[in-house]
Amino acid sequence: MAREATVRSPVAGVGRFSRRDALRGFLGVAGASLAGCMTGPDFTPPVAPVADKWLEWRSKSLKSAETPADWWRLFRDPVLNRLIETAYSQNLTLLSAGTKVLEARAELGVAIGEFYPQMQTASAAVNYDRASNATPASQGGNSMALGNFWADRWLVQSSWEIDLWGKFRRGIESADAAYLGSIASYDDVLVTLLSDVASAYIGIRTLERQIAIARANVARQRESVRIARTRFEGGASTLLDVHQAQNVLASTEATIPRLMIQLKHGMNALRVLLGMAPEPLGFLLARGAAKIPFAPPRAAVGIPADLLRRRPDIRVAELRAAAQSAQIGVAQAELYPAISISGAFGGQASNVGHNLGQMVQPMGRAFAIGPSFKWNLLNYGQIANNVRLQDATLQQYLIDYQNQVLKAQQEVENGVATYLLSASEAAYLRKSVTEAKGALEIATLEYQQGTRDFTTVLTAEQNLLAAENSLATATGNISIGLVSLYRALGGGWQIREGKPFVDAATVQEMRDRTNWGNLLPDAAQPGFETPGLPSAQDVDSSIKLPEW
Protein backbone atom coordinates (compact mmCIF):
# COMPACT_ATOMS: atom_id res chain seq x y z
CA MET A 1 0.00 0.00 0.00
CA ALA A 2 1.34 3.42 -0.92
CA ARG A 3 2.04 5.65 2.06
CA GLU A 4 1.19 9.31 1.69
CA ALA A 5 2.14 12.46 3.58
CA THR A 6 -1.02 14.57 3.52
CA VAL A 7 -1.55 18.08 4.83
CA ARG A 8 -4.98 19.74 4.65
CA SER A 9 -5.67 23.41 5.38
CA PRO A 10 -9.37 24.15 5.04
CA VAL A 11 -10.28 27.79 5.19
CA ALA A 12 -13.74 28.34 6.59
CA GLY A 13 -16.00 31.18 5.61
CA VAL A 14 -15.07 33.29 8.64
CA GLY A 15 -12.82 36.25 9.34
CA ARG A 16 -11.66 38.45 6.46
CA PHE A 17 -11.35 35.74 3.80
CA SER A 18 -13.86 36.89 1.18
CA ARG A 19 -15.24 35.23 -1.92
CA ARG A 20 -13.17 37.63 -4.03
CA ASP A 21 -10.02 36.40 -2.27
CA ALA A 22 -11.07 32.82 -2.97
CA LEU A 23 -11.62 33.58 -6.65
CA ARG A 24 -8.24 35.30 -6.90
CA GLY A 25 -6.55 32.31 -5.27
CA PHE A 26 -8.37 29.92 -7.60
CA LEU A 27 -7.34 31.84 -10.71
CA GLY A 28 -3.77 32.13 -9.43
CA VAL A 29 -3.43 28.39 -8.97
CA ALA A 30 -5.11 27.74 -12.32
CA GLY A 31 -2.61 30.04 -14.02
CA ALA A 32 0.25 28.31 -12.29
CA SER A 33 -1.10 24.98 -13.51
CA LEU A 34 -1.34 26.12 -17.11
CA ALA A 35 2.14 27.64 -17.01
CA GLY A 36 3.61 24.81 -14.96
CA CYS A 37 6.45 22.59 -16.05
CA MET A 38 5.92 19.36 -17.96
CA THR A 39 7.70 16.27 -16.70
CA GLY A 40 8.91 13.70 -19.15
CA PRO A 41 10.44 14.02 -22.62
CA ASP A 42 8.88 15.79 -25.58
CA PHE A 43 8.46 13.23 -28.32
CA THR A 44 10.81 13.36 -31.29
CA PRO A 45 10.24 10.93 -34.17
CA PRO A 46 13.17 8.53 -34.48
CA VAL A 47 15.48 8.58 -37.46
CA ALA A 48 14.15 6.09 -40.00
CA PRO A 49 16.49 3.90 -42.07
CA VAL A 50 15.26 4.92 -45.53
CA ALA A 51 17.02 4.32 -48.86
CA ASP A 52 17.48 7.16 -51.32
CA LYS A 53 16.13 5.21 -54.29
CA TRP A 54 14.51 1.89 -55.08
CA LEU A 55 16.80 -0.87 -56.30
CA GLU A 56 15.08 -1.00 -59.71
CA TRP A 57 14.70 2.76 -60.14
CA ARG A 58 16.38 2.59 -63.56
CA SER A 59 13.68 0.28 -64.93
CA LYS A 60 11.58 1.80 -67.72
CA SER A 61 8.51 0.21 -66.16
CA LEU A 62 8.81 2.40 -63.03
CA LYS A 63 8.35 6.13 -62.63
CA SER A 64 8.97 8.39 -59.64
CA ALA A 65 5.55 10.05 -59.81
CA GLU A 66 3.17 10.16 -56.85
CA THR A 67 1.30 6.92 -56.24
CA PRO A 68 -2.36 7.44 -57.26
CA ALA A 69 -4.87 7.19 -54.42
CA ASP A 70 -7.37 5.23 -56.56
CA TRP A 71 -4.74 2.93 -58.06
CA TRP A 72 -7.26 0.15 -58.84
CA ARG A 73 -8.76 2.31 -61.59
CA LEU A 74 -5.51 1.88 -63.54
CA PHE A 75 -6.75 -1.61 -64.46
CA ARG A 76 -9.72 -0.02 -66.30
CA ASP A 77 -12.03 -2.78 -65.07
CA PRO A 78 -15.55 -1.58 -64.11
CA VAL A 79 -16.22 -4.81 -62.20
CA LEU A 80 -13.18 -4.23 -59.99
CA ASN A 81 -14.28 -0.64 -59.38
CA ARG A 82 -17.72 -1.83 -58.31
CA LEU A 83 -16.26 -4.46 -55.98
CA ILE A 84 -14.02 -1.85 -54.32
CA GLU A 85 -16.99 0.44 -53.71
CA THR A 86 -19.05 -2.42 -52.28
CA ALA A 87 -16.28 -3.54 -49.93
CA TYR A 88 -15.66 0.01 -48.71
CA SER A 89 -19.31 0.44 -47.81
CA GLN A 90 -20.03 -3.04 -46.39
CA ASN A 91 -16.87 -4.70 -45.03
CA LEU A 92 -17.32 -5.51 -41.34
CA THR A 93 -13.63 -5.48 -40.41
CA LEU A 94 -13.42 -1.91 -41.66
CA LEU A 95 -16.60 -0.99 -39.78
CA SER A 96 -15.10 -2.46 -36.60
CA ALA A 97 -12.00 -0.31 -37.11
CA GLY A 98 -14.30 2.71 -37.46
CA THR A 99 -15.90 2.03 -34.09
CA LYS A 100 -12.42 1.91 -32.56
CA VAL A 101 -11.92 5.48 -33.78
CA LEU A 102 -15.06 6.47 -31.85
CA GLU A 103 -13.76 4.56 -28.83
CA ALA A 104 -10.43 6.40 -28.94
CA ARG A 105 -12.24 9.74 -29.31
CA ALA A 106 -14.27 9.02 -26.19
CA GLU A 107 -11.07 8.05 -24.31
CA LEU A 108 -9.55 11.38 -25.33
CA GLY A 109 -12.58 13.14 -23.84
CA VAL A 110 -12.03 11.21 -20.60
CA ALA A 111 -8.37 12.27 -20.50
CA ILE A 112 -9.29 15.91 -21.12
CA GLY A 113 -11.81 15.72 -18.27
CA GLU A 114 -9.00 14.81 -15.86
CA PHE A 115 -7.44 18.24 -16.42
CA TYR A 116 -10.47 19.96 -14.90
CA PRO A 117 -11.79 19.53 -11.31
CA GLN A 118 -11.74 15.80 -10.78
CA MET A 119 -14.51 15.61 -8.18
CA GLN A 120 -17.75 17.57 -8.47
CA THR A 121 -20.81 16.57 -6.47
CA ALA A 122 -24.09 18.10 -5.36
CA SER A 123 -26.23 16.63 -2.60
CA ALA A 124 -29.26 17.43 -0.49
CA ALA A 125 -31.03 15.72 2.38
CA VAL A 126 -33.82 16.09 4.90
CA ASN A 127 -33.56 14.11 8.16
CA TYR A 128 -35.69 13.55 11.23
CA ASP A 129 -33.30 13.03 14.14
CA ARG A 130 -34.04 11.35 17.43
CA ALA A 131 -31.10 10.66 19.69
CA SER A 132 -30.96 7.86 22.25
CA ASN A 133 -32.31 8.47 25.72
CA ALA A 134 -29.87 5.92 27.13
CA THR A 135 -26.68 7.95 26.50
CA PRO A 136 -25.51 11.29 27.85
CA ALA A 137 -25.97 14.37 25.71
CA SER A 138 -22.18 14.78 25.54
CA GLN A 139 -22.06 11.47 23.66
CA GLY A 140 -24.88 12.27 21.25
CA GLY A 141 -27.75 11.22 23.47
CA ASN A 142 -31.13 12.93 23.64
CA SER A 143 -31.45 15.94 25.93
CA MET A 144 -34.50 17.60 27.38
CA ALA A 145 -33.61 20.84 25.61
CA LEU A 146 -33.08 19.37 22.18
CA GLY A 147 -35.65 16.61 21.91
CA ASN A 148 -36.51 15.33 18.47
CA PHE A 149 -35.98 17.63 15.49
CA TRP A 150 -35.92 17.99 11.72
CA ALA A 151 -32.82 19.10 9.80
CA ASP A 152 -32.19 19.79 6.12
CA ARG A 153 -29.10 20.63 4.14
CA TRP A 154 -27.69 21.02 0.63
CA LEU A 155 -24.07 20.92 -0.42
CA VAL A 156 -21.94 21.43 -3.54
CA GLN A 157 -18.41 20.05 -3.35
CA SER A 158 -15.46 20.15 -5.72
CA SER A 159 -11.84 19.02 -5.65
CA TRP A 160 -9.19 19.94 -8.19
CA GLU A 161 -5.67 18.53 -8.30
CA ILE A 162 -3.60 21.25 -9.93
CA ASP A 163 -1.53 20.00 -12.86
CA LEU A 164 1.74 21.53 -11.70
CA TRP A 165 3.93 18.84 -13.24
CA GLY A 166 1.96 18.16 -16.42
CA LYS A 167 0.60 14.74 -15.40
CA PHE A 168 -2.83 15.40 -16.84
CA ARG A 169 -1.52 17.32 -19.83
CA ARG A 170 0.77 14.41 -20.66
CA GLY A 171 -2.22 12.12 -20.28
CA ILE A 172 -4.14 14.22 -22.80
CA GLU A 173 -1.12 14.17 -25.11
CA SER A 174 -0.97 10.38 -24.87
CA ALA A 175 -4.71 9.96 -25.49
CA ASP A 176 -4.56 12.37 -28.42
CA ALA A 177 -1.75 10.37 -30.05
CA ALA A 178 -3.72 7.17 -29.43
CA TYR A 179 -6.76 8.78 -31.06
CA LEU A 180 -4.80 9.76 -34.14
CA GLY A 181 -3.27 6.28 -34.11
CA SER A 182 -6.74 4.75 -34.24
CA ILE A 183 -7.43 6.76 -37.40
CA ALA A 184 -4.14 5.53 -38.90
CA SER A 185 -5.13 1.97 -37.94
CA TYR A 186 -8.43 2.47 -39.75
CA ASP A 187 -6.50 3.63 -42.81
CA ASP A 188 -4.25 0.57 -42.60
CA VAL A 189 -7.29 -1.73 -42.50
CA LEU A 190 -8.68 0.13 -45.52
CA VAL A 191 -5.44 -0.23 -47.51
CA THR A 192 -5.38 -3.96 -46.71
CA LEU A 193 -9.05 -4.35 -47.65
CA LEU A 194 -8.65 -2.67 -51.04
CA SER A 195 -5.65 -4.79 -51.97
CA ASP A 196 -7.30 -7.99 -50.73
CA VAL A 197 -10.39 -7.31 -52.85
CA ALA A 198 -8.27 -6.60 -55.92
CA SER A 199 -6.10 -9.69 -55.33
CA ALA A 200 -9.14 -11.91 -54.78
CA TYR A 201 -10.77 -10.61 -57.95
CA ILE A 202 -7.61 -11.09 -60.03
CA GLY A 203 -7.26 -14.59 -58.59
CA ILE A 204 -10.86 -15.38 -59.58
CA ARG A 205 -10.32 -14.10 -63.13
CA THR A 206 -7.07 -16.08 -63.41
CA LEU A 207 -8.82 -19.28 -62.33
CA GLU A 208 -11.67 -18.63 -64.76
CA ARG A 209 -9.09 -18.25 -67.51
CA GLN A 210 -7.38 -21.49 -66.54
CA ILE A 211 -10.73 -23.31 -66.50
CA ALA A 212 -11.47 -21.96 -69.98
CA ILE A 213 -8.03 -23.15 -71.14
CA ALA A 214 -8.66 -26.60 -69.67
CA ARG A 215 -12.03 -26.86 -71.40
CA ALA A 216 -10.55 -25.78 -74.75
CA ASN A 217 -7.87 -28.43 -74.38
CA VAL A 218 -10.49 -31.02 -73.46
CA ALA A 219 -12.27 -30.26 -76.74
CA ARG A 220 -8.97 -30.48 -78.62
CA GLN A 221 -8.00 -33.77 -76.96
CA ARG A 222 -11.43 -35.29 -77.65
CA GLU A 223 -10.72 -34.66 -81.31
CA SER A 224 -7.41 -36.47 -80.86
CA VAL A 225 -9.24 -39.43 -79.31
CA ARG A 226 -11.60 -39.47 -82.31
CA ILE A 227 -8.66 -39.44 -84.74
CA ALA A 228 -6.85 -42.23 -82.85
CA ARG A 229 -10.00 -44.39 -82.80
CA THR A 230 -10.63 -43.80 -86.50
CA ARG A 231 -7.07 -44.80 -87.38
CA PHE A 232 -7.36 -47.89 -85.15
CA GLU A 233 -10.62 -48.93 -86.77
CA GLY A 234 -9.02 -48.42 -90.16
CA GLY A 235 -6.09 -50.61 -89.19
CA ALA A 236 -3.58 -47.75 -89.43
CA SER A 237 -2.66 -47.85 -85.70
CA THR A 238 -3.03 -49.99 -82.60
CA LEU A 239 -5.38 -49.71 -79.64
CA LEU A 240 -2.44 -48.26 -77.68
CA ASP A 241 -2.96 -44.87 -79.33
CA VAL A 242 -6.61 -44.85 -78.26
CA HIS A 243 -5.75 -45.66 -74.64
CA GLN A 244 -3.01 -43.02 -74.54
CA ALA A 245 -5.33 -40.38 -75.98
CA GLN A 246 -8.09 -41.21 -73.49
CA ASN A 247 -5.57 -41.14 -70.63
CA VAL A 248 -4.43 -37.61 -71.49
CA LEU A 249 -8.05 -36.52 -71.99
CA ALA A 250 -9.14 -37.81 -68.56
CA SER A 251 -6.14 -36.19 -66.90
CA THR A 252 -7.04 -32.82 -68.44
CA GLU A 253 -10.70 -33.21 -67.50
CA ALA A 254 -9.64 -33.89 -63.90
CA THR A 255 -7.97 -30.48 -63.66
CA ILE A 256 -11.33 -28.72 -64.06
CA PRO A 257 -12.84 -29.82 -60.70
CA ARG A 258 -9.58 -28.94 -58.96
CA LEU A 259 -9.64 -25.46 -60.47
CA MET A 260 -13.33 -25.13 -59.62
CA ILE A 261 -12.55 -25.84 -55.95
CA GLN A 262 -10.03 -23.02 -55.93
CA LEU A 263 -12.52 -20.76 -57.71
CA LYS A 264 -15.23 -21.49 -55.14
CA HIS A 265 -12.80 -20.75 -52.31
CA GLY A 266 -11.82 -17.48 -53.94
CA MET A 267 -15.46 -16.41 -54.34
CA ASN A 268 -16.20 -17.32 -50.73
CA ALA A 269 -13.27 -15.18 -49.59
CA LEU A 270 -14.50 -12.33 -51.79
CA ARG A 271 -17.98 -12.52 -50.22
CA VAL A 272 -16.48 -12.02 -46.75
CA LEU A 273 -14.51 -9.02 -48.01
CA LEU A 274 -17.71 -7.58 -49.45
CA GLY A 275 -19.61 -8.17 -46.21
CA MET A 276 -22.03 -10.54 -47.95
CA ALA A 277 -23.65 -13.77 -46.80
CA PRO A 278 -23.31 -16.77 -49.17
CA GLU A 279 -25.23 -15.78 -52.29
CA PRO A 280 -24.56 -15.77 -56.03
CA LEU A 281 -22.02 -13.20 -57.24
CA GLY A 282 -23.16 -13.27 -60.84
CA PHE A 283 -24.61 -9.77 -60.64
CA LEU A 284 -21.16 -8.48 -59.64
CA LEU A 285 -18.90 -10.67 -61.78
CA ALA A 286 -20.97 -11.03 -64.97
CA ARG A 287 -19.09 -8.43 -66.96
CA GLY A 288 -15.75 -9.33 -68.50
CA ALA A 289 -15.95 -12.98 -67.47
CA ALA A 290 -12.66 -14.92 -67.61
CA LYS A 291 -10.72 -11.78 -68.49
CA ILE A 292 -7.71 -11.11 -66.27
CA PRO A 293 -7.42 -7.37 -65.40
CA PHE A 294 -4.65 -5.89 -67.49
CA ALA A 295 -1.87 -4.17 -65.54
CA PRO A 296 -0.52 -0.93 -67.05
CA PRO A 297 3.01 -1.13 -68.45
CA ARG A 298 4.39 1.42 -65.97
CA ALA A 299 3.91 1.88 -62.22
CA ALA A 300 4.31 5.07 -60.18
CA VAL A 301 6.43 4.28 -57.11
CA GLY A 302 7.67 7.67 -55.89
CA ILE A 303 10.70 7.60 -53.59
CA PRO A 304 11.29 5.56 -50.40
CA ALA A 305 10.92 8.63 -48.16
CA ASP A 306 7.28 8.94 -49.27
CA LEU A 307 6.48 5.83 -47.21
CA LEU A 308 6.91 7.75 -43.95
CA ARG A 309 3.93 9.98 -44.64
CA ARG A 310 1.79 7.68 -46.79
CA ARG A 311 1.86 4.23 -45.17
CA PRO A 312 -0.70 4.06 -42.37
CA ASP A 313 1.08 1.29 -40.48
CA ILE A 314 4.19 3.46 -40.21
CA ARG A 315 2.04 6.29 -38.85
CA VAL A 316 0.53 3.83 -36.37
CA ALA A 317 4.00 2.83 -35.15
CA GLU A 318 5.08 6.46 -34.77
CA LEU A 319 1.90 7.54 -32.96
CA ARG A 320 2.11 4.55 -30.63
CA ALA A 321 5.61 5.68 -29.66
CA ALA A 322 4.36 9.26 -29.22
CA ALA A 323 1.57 8.09 -26.91
CA GLN A 324 4.04 6.04 -24.89
CA SER A 325 6.48 8.96 -24.64
CA ALA A 326 3.80 11.00 -22.89
CA GLN A 327 3.26 8.14 -20.42
CA ILE A 328 6.80 8.69 -19.13
CA GLY A 329 5.76 12.20 -18.08
CA VAL A 330 2.64 10.82 -16.41
CA ALA A 331 4.77 8.37 -14.42
CA GLN A 332 7.43 10.96 -13.51
CA ALA A 333 4.81 13.35 -12.15
CA GLU A 334 4.13 10.87 -9.35
CA LEU A 335 7.62 11.60 -7.99
CA TYR A 336 6.56 15.13 -7.04
CA PRO A 337 4.01 16.45 -4.57
CA ALA A 338 0.43 16.86 -5.68
CA ILE A 339 -1.50 19.94 -4.58
CA SER A 340 -5.26 20.02 -4.72
CA ILE A 341 -7.84 22.66 -3.96
CA SER A 342 -11.03 21.48 -2.33
CA GLY A 343 -14.12 23.51 -1.69
CA ALA A 344 -17.67 23.14 -0.47
CA PHE A 345 -20.62 25.50 -0.44
CA GLY A 346 -24.08 24.85 0.92
CA GLY A 347 -26.72 25.53 3.48
CA GLN A 348 -28.05 23.85 6.62
CA ALA A 349 -30.93 24.47 9.02
CA SER A 350 -33.12 22.73 11.61
CA ASN A 351 -36.36 23.41 13.41
CA VAL A 352 -34.62 23.75 16.77
CA GLY A 353 -35.10 27.44 17.40
CA HIS A 354 -35.19 28.09 13.67
CA ASN A 355 -37.05 26.86 10.58
CA LEU A 356 -36.07 24.58 7.72
CA GLY A 357 -36.51 27.33 5.13
CA GLN A 358 -33.45 29.11 6.50
CA MET A 359 -31.37 26.50 4.64
CA VAL A 360 -31.49 28.74 1.55
CA GLN A 361 -31.22 32.04 3.41
CA PRO A 362 -27.93 33.88 4.10
CA MET A 363 -27.88 32.86 7.74
CA GLY A 364 -27.99 29.19 6.75
CA ARG A 365 -25.12 29.32 4.31
CA ALA A 366 -21.74 27.69 4.94
CA PHE A 367 -18.64 27.14 2.86
CA ALA A 368 -15.09 25.86 3.13
CA ILE A 369 -12.13 26.08 0.78
CA GLY A 370 -8.49 25.21 1.06
CA PRO A 371 -5.52 23.37 -0.41
CA SER A 372 -4.36 19.85 0.31
CA PHE A 373 -0.90 18.42 -0.11
CA LYS A 374 0.03 14.82 -0.99
CA TRP A 375 3.47 13.35 -1.61
CA ASN A 376 4.33 9.67 -1.96
CA LEU A 377 7.57 10.02 0.01
CA LEU A 378 7.94 6.39 1.00
CA ASN A 379 7.04 4.96 -2.39
CA TYR A 380 9.89 6.45 -4.42
CA GLY A 381 11.41 3.14 -5.55
CA GLN A 382 8.16 1.79 -6.97
CA ILE A 383 7.45 5.03 -8.83
CA ALA A 384 11.02 5.26 -10.17
CA ASN A 385 10.82 1.73 -11.50
CA ASN A 386 7.49 2.52 -13.17
CA VAL A 387 9.22 5.43 -14.94
CA ARG A 388 11.91 3.03 -16.12
CA LEU A 389 9.24 0.61 -17.28
CA GLN A 390 7.55 3.31 -19.37
CA ASP A 391 10.90 4.39 -20.82
CA ALA A 392 11.86 0.84 -21.80
CA THR A 393 8.48 0.41 -23.47
CA LEU A 394 9.06 3.63 -25.40
CA GLN A 395 12.46 2.40 -26.57
CA GLN A 396 10.84 -0.82 -27.77
CA TYR A 397 8.26 1.15 -29.76
CA LEU A 398 10.97 3.34 -31.30
CA ILE A 399 12.82 0.24 -32.48
CA ASP A 400 9.55 -1.25 -33.73
CA TYR A 401 8.98 1.92 -35.75
CA GLN A 402 12.39 1.63 -37.41
CA ASN A 403 11.78 -2.05 -38.10
CA GLN A 404 8.38 -1.23 -39.62
CA VAL A 405 10.06 1.21 -42.01
CA LEU A 406 12.50 -1.52 -43.09
CA LYS A 407 9.66 -4.03 -43.60
CA ALA A 408 7.73 -1.48 -45.66
CA GLN A 409 10.68 -1.06 -48.01
CA GLN A 410 11.06 -4.84 -48.23
CA GLU A 411 7.40 -5.16 -49.25
CA VAL A 412 7.80 -2.50 -51.92
CA GLU A 413 10.89 -4.21 -53.35
CA ASN A 414 9.02 -7.54 -53.34
CA GLY A 415 6.12 -5.96 -55.19
CA VAL A 416 8.46 -4.36 -57.74
CA ALA A 417 10.22 -7.69 -58.34
CA THR A 418 6.94 -9.57 -58.79
CA TYR A 419 5.56 -6.92 -61.14
CA LEU A 420 8.65 -6.60 -63.34
CA LEU A 421 9.74 -10.24 -63.48
CA SER A 422 6.22 -11.57 -64.02
CA ALA A 423 6.00 -9.29 -67.04
CA SER A 424 9.24 -10.80 -68.39
CA GLU A 425 7.98 -14.31 -67.66
CA ALA A 426 4.71 -13.62 -69.47
CA ALA A 427 6.58 -12.35 -72.54
CA TYR A 428 8.51 -15.61 -72.78
CA LEU A 429 5.41 -17.69 -72.14
CA ARG A 430 3.46 -15.97 -74.90
CA LYS A 431 6.18 -17.10 -77.29
CA SER A 432 6.06 -20.57 -75.72
CA VAL A 433 2.29 -20.81 -76.31
CA THR A 434 2.70 -19.76 -79.94
CA GLU A 435 5.36 -22.39 -80.54
CA ALA A 436 3.38 -25.08 -78.68
CA LYS A 437 0.33 -24.45 -80.87
CA GLY A 438 2.48 -24.72 -84.00
CA ALA A 439 4.07 -27.94 -82.77
CA LEU A 440 0.65 -29.48 -82.03
CA GLU A 441 -0.71 -28.59 -85.46
CA ILE A 442 2.27 -30.16 -87.22
CA ALA A 443 2.31 -33.24 -84.99
CA THR A 444 -1.41 -33.84 -85.54
CA LEU A 445 -1.09 -33.42 -89.30
CA GLU A 446 1.92 -35.76 -89.54
CA TYR A 447 0.15 -38.34 -87.34
CA GLN A 448 -2.86 -38.30 -89.65
CA GLN A 449 -0.51 -38.78 -92.61
CA GLY A 450 1.19 -41.68 -90.83
CA THR A 451 4.63 -40.07 -90.68
CA ARG A 452 4.67 -39.41 -86.92
CA ASP A 453 3.72 -41.61 -83.96
CA PHE A 454 0.93 -40.66 -81.57
CA THR A 455 3.29 -40.05 -78.62
CA THR A 456 4.46 -36.85 -80.34
CA VAL A 457 0.87 -35.61 -80.54
CA LEU A 458 0.23 -36.34 -76.86
CA THR A 459 3.43 -34.58 -75.81
CA ALA A 460 2.51 -31.54 -77.92
CA GLU A 461 -0.96 -31.41 -76.31
CA GLN A 462 0.48 -31.57 -72.83
CA ASN A 463 3.08 -28.92 -73.62
CA LEU A 464 0.39 -26.58 -74.95
CA LEU A 465 -1.80 -27.03 -71.87
CA ALA A 466 1.14 -26.39 -69.54
CA ALA A 467 2.26 -23.32 -71.51
CA GLU A 468 -1.23 -21.78 -71.60
CA ASN A 469 -1.72 -22.41 -67.88
CA SER A 470 1.64 -20.89 -67.07
CA LEU A 471 0.85 -17.85 -69.23
CA ALA A 472 -2.46 -17.32 -67.43
CA THR A 473 -0.71 -17.56 -64.06
CA ALA A 474 2.05 -15.16 -65.11
CA THR A 475 -0.48 -12.68 -66.51
CA GLY A 476 -2.35 -12.77 -63.21
CA ASN A 477 0.93 -12.40 -61.32
CA ILE A 478 1.70 -9.16 -63.16
CA SER A 479 -1.53 -7.68 -61.86
CA ILE A 480 -1.11 -9.27 -58.43
CA GLY A 481 2.42 -7.85 -58.27
CA LEU A 482 1.11 -4.37 -59.09
CA VAL A 483 -1.58 -4.69 -56.40
CA SER A 484 1.06 -5.80 -53.88
CA LEU A 485 3.26 -2.91 -54.93
CA TYR A 486 0.56 -0.29 -54.40
CA ARG A 487 -0.43 -1.93 -51.13
CA ALA A 488 3.19 -1.72 -49.99
CA LEU A 489 3.32 1.93 -51.06
CA GLY A 490 0.33 2.60 -48.80
CA GLY A 491 -2.10 3.89 -51.41
CA GLY A 492 -5.88 3.87 -51.24
CA TRP A 493 -6.76 5.12 -47.75
CA GLN A 494 -7.32 8.61 -49.14
CA ILE A 495 -10.78 7.62 -50.39
CA ARG A 496 -12.15 7.95 -46.84
CA GLU A 497 -11.32 11.66 -46.61
CA GLY A 498 -14.39 13.64 -45.68
CA LYS A 499 -16.43 10.48 -45.13
CA PRO A 500 -17.67 8.90 -41.89
CA PHE A 501 -15.84 6.10 -40.16
CA VAL A 502 -19.10 4.21 -39.56
CA ASP A 503 -22.20 3.88 -41.71
CA ALA A 504 -25.60 5.46 -41.13
CA ALA A 505 -27.16 2.27 -39.73
CA THR A 506 -24.41 1.93 -37.12
CA VAL A 507 -24.71 5.59 -36.18
CA GLN A 508 -28.46 5.24 -35.67
CA GLU A 509 -28.03 2.07 -33.60
CA MET A 510 -25.47 3.75 -31.35
CA ARG A 511 -27.58 6.89 -31.00
CA ASP A 512 -30.60 4.83 -30.01
CA ARG A 513 -28.52 3.20 -27.28
CA THR A 514 -26.37 6.09 -25.96
CA ASN A 515 -26.26 9.89 -26.03
CA TRP A 516 -23.27 10.68 -28.27
CA GLY A 517 -23.87 14.43 -28.49
CA ASN A 518 -22.42 15.87 -31.66
CA LEU A 519 -19.65 13.28 -31.90
CA LEU A 520 -22.04 11.32 -34.12
CA PRO A 521 -24.14 12.93 -36.83
CA ASP A 522 -27.86 12.60 -37.37
CA ALA A 523 -28.02 9.70 -39.80
CA ALA A 524 -31.41 10.88 -41.03
CA GLN A 525 -30.04 14.18 -42.29
CA PRO A 526 -29.01 14.52 -45.93
CA GLY A 527 -25.31 14.79 -46.66
CA PHE A 528 -24.41 12.22 -44.01
CA GLU A 529 -21.06 13.01 -42.46
CA THR A 530 -19.30 12.76 -39.13
CA PRO A 531 -18.62 16.08 -37.40
CA GLY A 532 -16.02 16.06 -34.67
CA LEU A 533 -14.01 13.33 -36.40
CA PRO A 534 -11.12 14.48 -38.57
CA SER A 535 -10.32 13.68 -42.15
CA ALA A 536 -6.78 13.47 -43.48
CA GLN A 537 -6.64 17.25 -44.03
CA ASP A 538 -7.22 18.18 -40.41
CA VAL A 539 -5.54 15.33 -38.55
CA ASP A 540 -2.78 16.80 -36.40
CA SER A 541 -1.38 16.42 -32.93
CA SER A 542 -3.32 19.28 -31.35
CA ILE A 543 -5.32 18.73 -28.18
CA LYS A 544 -9.04 18.62 -28.80
CA LEU A 545 -11.39 20.34 -26.37
CA PRO A 546 -14.14 18.21 -24.86
CA GLU A 547 -17.44 17.94 -26.71
CA TRP A 548 -19.50 19.02 -23.68
Q: Is a pLDDT exceeding 50 seen at residue 133?
A: yes
Task: Label residue 147 by pLDDT band (50, 70, 90).
Answer: low
Residue range 335-363: average pLDDT?
Answer: 84
pLDDT band (50, 70, 90) for residue 25: very low
Q: What is the per-residue pLDDT for 499?
A: 86
Q: What is the mean pLDDT of residues 181-203?
A: 95
Beta partners for residue 299, in sequence order = 62
DSSP per residue over 364-378, as a string?
A: GEEEEEEEEEEE-GG
Phi-psi region of 401 (alpha: psi -120 to 50; beta: other; left: phi over 0): alpha
Q: Which stretch, 173-182, 223-232, 452-461, has highest mean pLDDT?
A: 173-182
Return the pLDDT at 320. Answer: 96
Predicted local distance difference test score (pLDDT) of residue 526: 47
Share of the chain above pLDDT 70, in %: 84
Which residues does 126 contact at the CB level (< 8 Å), separation at least 6? 150, 151, 152, 356
Average pLDDT score over the chain: 84
CA nearest 369: which of 156, 122, 113? 156
Q: With contact defined as beta carbons under 8 Å apart, do 460 and 245 qualify?
A: no
pLDDT of residue 129: 78
Write the DSSP assignment of 61-107 as a string of letters: TEE-SPPPTTGGGGG--HHHHHHHHHHHHH-HHHHHHHHHHHHHHHH
The three-class DSSP label of residue 234 is coil
**Which three-class secondary structure state does DSSP give residue 500?**
coil
pLDDT > 80? residue 148: no
Mean of pLDDT values over 236-255: 91
**Please, which residues bridge with residue 292 across strands?**
none
> Residue 178: its pLDDT value, please?
95
H/E/C letters for each residue in 392-434?
HHHHHHHHHHHHHHHHHHHHHHHHHHHHHHHHHHHHHHHHHHH
Instruction: Write the pLDDT tens digit of every residue in 296-328.
Output: 999 989 889 888 888 999 999 999 999 999 999
Task: Kindly report the pTM of this predicted structure.
Answer: 0.83
- Which pLDDT value is given to residue 348? 87
What is the predicted pLDDT for the residue at 504? 87
What was the pLDDT predicted at 289?
A: 54
Instruction: Supply angle C-alpha 506, 510, 514, rounded to 5.
Output: 175
Instruction: Kindly report which listed range (190-199, 447-456, 457-466) carries the lowest average pLDDT score.
Output: 447-456
**pLDDT above 80: residue 91:** yes
Confidence of residue 29 (pLDDT cuts 50, 70, 90): very low
Task: Give mean pLDDT, residues 242-247.
Answer: 92
Name all domains of the chain by residue range, CATH numbers in brackets.
13-129+151-496 (1.20.1600.10)
Answer yes or no: is pLDDT of 30 > 90. no
Highest mean pLDDT (candidates 126-135, 473-482, 499-508): 473-482
Summarised one tens digit per residue, pLDDT across range 254-265 is: 999 999 999 999
The model's confidence at residue 535, banded by pLDDT at 50, 70 and 90, is very low
How much of the chain, in percent, has pLDDT values that exceed 90?
49
Up-side HSE of residue 394: CA atoms within 13 Å toward CB? 23
Segment 400-422 shows an average pLDDT of 95
User: Which pLDDT does position 140 carry in this prediction?
Assistant: 58
